[in-house]
Amino acid sequence: MADLLAANVTTISAYRIGGTSSKSRLRKRIRYTNTTAGTAANKLLASAMGLRVIEECSGVFFDAATKAVYPAVPSADGSYVVLTNPNQVTDANRTDLFDLATGASNAYLSVTGYD
SS3 assignment for the chain: CCCCCHHHEEEEEEEEECCCCCCCEEEEEEEECCCEECCCCCCEECHHHCCCEEEEECCEEEECCCCEEECEEECCCCCEEEEECCCCCCCCCCCCECCEECCCCEEEEEEEEEC
Please give the model's pTM, rounded to 2 decimal places. 0.89
Q: Per-residue pLDDT tens for 44-76?
A: 999 999 999 999 999 999 998 888 999 999 999
Q: Per-residue pLDDT tens for 10-40?
A: 999 999 988 766 678 999 999 999 999 999 8
Q: What CATH number was assigned to the domain covering residues 6-114?
A: 2.60.40
Q: Per-residue pLDDT tens for 91-115?
A: 788 778 989 999 899 999 999 999 8
